[in-house]
Structure 1
Amino acid sequence: MVGPYRTLFSMPGAKGFVIAGFVGRAPMAMLGIGIVLLISALTGSYTTAGAVSATTAVAFAIAAPLSGRLIDRFGQARILIPLALVHGAALTGLMLCAEFGAPRWTLFAFALVTGGAATSLGSMVRARWSHLLSGRAGLHTAFSFESVADEVIFVAGPALTAGLAAAVSPYAGLVVAGVCAVAGTVAFALQRGTEPPVRTGPARSGSPITIPAVALLAGVFLAMGAVFGSVDLITVAFAAERGAKAAAGLLLGCVAFGSMLSGLWYGHREWALSLRRRFAWALVVFAVGFAPIAAISDLRLMAVALFFAGLAISPTIITIYALVERIVPAHLLTEGMSWLSTAVGFGVAVGAWAGGRLTDAFGPSDAYLFALGCALLALVTGAVGGALLHLPEGGRSEAGSAAS
């Protein structure tokens, strides 16, 4: 399994941007749960905690395609560095407002800026791989590696954040997240040798979201994001209800660990099945995997169930990114991938808000039914729109080029 991945890092500059990108996007697994832990500790309300977390996610979702389009037009370095600095400053403001008891609206204001200035660094890393491996077989392995890297972050991030909140301070996880976001993003942006060149396209290039297949995939990501956002918050409450709030990070890490292992396995294989069929089967497993969680009350059994629920996540995400890379014209690729981040962001926001309301109203076990419903919605969306994903076996689709 290691061989195909080792080959990737023999390319000049690959190790540098991968490491910096890994550090810079680590906060994506820390920010939401860090805000939930901090605000719930201060207010005692999961509804408020979910709302502040959702504000960050919505702001990111709205801003991601805009920053992606700017990066396609002006290059990564010129856009990423200013955004990283604003993001770090806004997150610091959020924590200071919480510390000194500022009016509650200030939490939402700083959450809005924090999310709006967050960067979809995973999309930037994948855009670099697409540039370096254009037309070569290693792109599937590279995308698989990046999905595995995401899951490593989701294994370590929630556990680290929850552990720091319990052992040090409710603010500690967010401090680490802010430092990683600024330092990693700036270090990534300064590596100009592997930066994709600015590509020109038609003067009136449309947005990638107007391509029907991209809109379909974004819809699937929206439903998946709602699963992730609700499970994050509900699991914190599930663990707290059993007197083990610090175990929430470990439970969420089980989801990510399952996804990480499946991503490693998926990425090293040469697949005979088409992307479209792999996408369909992954969604089936994804929906089935989340079915048992609403019926479990024991922490250890929940850890096992969440591990198996995570097994379909990486293969689904890898396949969707590969589909977008095939569909979207090269000069709009960053924006196209950013639309996936937008969809996930909106989904996470809806999931965090709904998960908080349902947890406060019915308890965490019943609230897990919402996550299952969203997993089923992702499956139905992919199945109903599957006809849009007929792709040629080689190169980018003509439909994608025409849509530009």
Structure 2
Amino acid sequence: MATPATATRDSRGGYGALLRTPGAWRFLIPGFLARQPIAMLGVGTVLLVEHTTGSYGAAGIVTAATGVSMALLAPQGGKLTDRFGQGAVLVPLVLLHALSVSALVVLALRGAPLWALFAAAVPAGASIPQISPMVRARWSACLGGTDGGGGKAAAAGGAAGGRDCGGSSLMTTAAAFESVTDEFSFVVGPVLATALCTGVHPAAGLIAEAVLILVSGLLFAAQRGTQPKVRTGRAGGRRGGADDGGGRRGSALGVRGVPVLIAVLLGVGTVFGGMQVSVAAVTESAGAPELNGVLYGVFAAGNMSAALAVGTVRWRRGADVRLLIAYPLLVLAALTLAVTAQLAPWLPLLGGLGLVLGLWVAPAVIAGFTLVELLVPAAYRTEAFTWLTGAVALGQASGSMAAGRLADAAGAGAGFLAPLAGTGLALAALVAFRRRLAVGTGDRPSGGGVGHRAPVPVD
């Protein structure tokens, strides 16, 4: 999931200029590898538990346990990261996650009862390293977003914590790049997990997930030169900041608009979770389980393609307006897919509609993460990013559980109703509280009291 929205004043702007940022490749490569397991965990769990229990409902419940625990505890990890630094939090999380996933695999293969699988899935989900928010925080530090000082951060030789990075105003491009990277992970991860589970062993997907997160996560943590600077003071925001919004202090939840964005991303998560289980169910029902990864990959490819396109456009409308445009279209695409799955469950047609659904996921997600970068004080930004990714995980858990129960009770195609319900409820919340997301030219938050960036036109 990712973030564009501030127009760059770099004459060499674009992906090329972004990737020439000094030090960027040191965290990009291990960061890319370390986020693949998040995309593999859901599919790998579904396929392993369904294989050992014979129930998609049970598989959905266990997968939901990983998502719920991640959604509830990951933001606390983000808060600790803002306070103590990425390396101090990431290393123990990586080790705990590898052990927890290994325990889940052993229990499943030994035919353990559902409650035992559920108990193992909770720490597995709670310990998922939040690589994507960490990478976004590094971009913000590298490009001057951490202290809000832009060029001043670079001139100070890395005062924002990005000692190896050059200052820039390429936040729009970085946000789009991160969206593309996230969505590419959801192309590669499920396909890889499915291929391993169906072609090697039902547990191979989760075993590969544990090994990959262990190695790449430790490599990412070792890149200390690009970590954001740890802040110990409080930061205030201009629009209901972390110290004056809703009576909360010391949390990104106090920023006006963040709870609305959490609801929006929760709905997006039901799309991911519902699609994972529903696609697995319909391909199994059609006698072609090997196409599970392919069809889900088509959906994710649409998501990734849209993210890439969004990042290349110089938008004239703000991120809040773009979100209000993209989300109703996302709901319409979910409605079309759900109805078609009940009436004409033909795999090529469902694959095409899944592609269309994916095309509207990325614009909504990008606009949401953009608003975080615009509204949240820098000292709370990793936590805010983590709340949003946690919301996606919680929605994914809810979507997978609901889709599994619907598929067991009413047929494979019924699972597609879960994404429709989730996005529909989120759209209602978005419309009702849309004013909380309005962005003005003076609404760029300060970086924890260090100073304000010079005004940059949005979109």
Aligning the two structures, in what range does the TM-score lie when normalised by the shorter sequence?
Answer: over 0.9
1:42 aligns with 2:41: no
Q: Which residue of the partner structure matches residue 259 of structure 1?
A: 303
Is the CA contact 2:266–2:422 (under 8 Å) kept in the aligned structure 1? no
Shift of 1:395: 5.6
Shift of 1:397: 4.0
2:228 maps to amino acid: P
Q: State the identity as a percent.
A: 40
CA distance in 1 between counterparts of 2:210 and 2:29 reads: 17
Is the CA contact 1:199–1:330 (under 8 Å) kept in the aligned structure 2? no
Shift of 1:39: 0.5
1:146 maps to amino acid: E
Shift of 1:115: 0.7
| Selected match of 1:212 from 243, 253, 256 | 256
Is the CA contact 2:277–2:415 (under 8 Å) kept in the aligned structure 1? no
Shift of 1:35: 0.4
State the TM-score, normalizing by the size of structure 1: 0.95
Is the CA contact 1:158–1:252 (under 8 Å) kept in the aligned structure 2? yes
Is the CA contact 1:391–1:397 (under 8 Å) kept in the aligned structure 2? no
Give secondary structure in 2 for the equivalent of 1:30: helix
CA distance in 2 between counterparts of 1:75 and 1:42 reads: 40
Q: Provide the alpha-carbon RMSD of the alignment.
A: 1.8
CA distance in 2 between counterparts of 1:329 and 1:182 reads: 31
Q: Which residue of the partner structure matches residue 87 of structure 2?
A: 77
CA distance in 2 between counterparts of 1:188 and 1:63 reads: 21
The range that moved more, 92-101 or 119-128, is 92-101
1:232 aligns with 2:264: no
Is the CA contact 2:58–2:114 (under 8 Å) kept in the aligned structure 1? no
| Selected match of 1:306 from 345, 354, 360 | 354
Give secondary structure in 1 for the equivalent of 2:384: helix
Is the CA contact 2:234–2:379 (under 8 Å) kept in the aligned structure 1? no
The range that moved more, 385-394 or 332-341, is 385-394
1:11 maps to amino acid: T
2:381 maps to amino acid: L
CA distance in 1 between counterparts of 2:98 and 2:314 reads: 41
Q: Per-residue CA shift, 1:65-116, capped at 9, x if unaligned?
A: 1101111000000110111011001111111112223343321221111111
Q: Which residue of the partner structure matches residue 92 of structure 1?
A: 102
1:341 aligns with 2:389: yes
- Structure richer in helix, relative to its length: 1
Q: Which runs of 5+ in 2 are unaligned?
A: 1-11, 145-149, 151-167, 236-242, 244-248, 450-459
State the TM-score, normalizing by the size of structure 2: 0.84
Q: Per-residue CA shift, 1:328-372, capped at 9, x if unaligned?
A: 111111111111122112111111111111111001222312322
Is the CA contact 1:61–1:341 (under 8 Å) kept in the aligned structure 2? yes
Q: Per-residue CA shift, 1:378-401, capped at 9, x if unaligned?
A: 222222211111222256248x99
Give secondary structure in 2 for the equivalent of 1:67: helix
1:68 aligns with 2:78: yes
| Selected match of 1:283 from 323, 327, 351 | 327
**Number of residue pairs matched?**
399
Q: Which residue of the partner structure matches residue 239 of structure 2?
A: none
Q: Per-residue CA shift, 1:146-202, capped at 9, x if unaligned?
A: 110111111111111111111111111111111121111111111011100002323
CA distance in 1 between counterparts of 2:172 and 2:369 reads: 10
Q: Which residue of the partner structure matches residue 129 of structure 1?
A: 139
1:330 aligns with 2:362: no
Instruction: Give matches, 1:5-404, under 5 Å.
Output: 5-134=15-144, 135=150, 136-202=168-234, 205-294=249-338, 295=340, 296-394=344-442, 396-397=444-445
Is the CA contact 1:258–1:307 (under 8 Å) kept in the aligned structure 2? yes
Runs of 4+ that moved beyond 6 A:
none
CA distance in 2 between counterparts of 1:349 and 1:3 reads: 38
Q: Per-residue CA shift, 1:34-91, capped at 9, x if unaligned?
A: 0000000111111111111111111111111110111100000011011101100111
Q: Which runs of 5+ in 1 are unaligned?
A: none
CA distance in 2 between counterparts of 1:355 and 1:140 reads: 35
CA distance in 2 between counterparts of 1:282 and 1:125 reads: 25
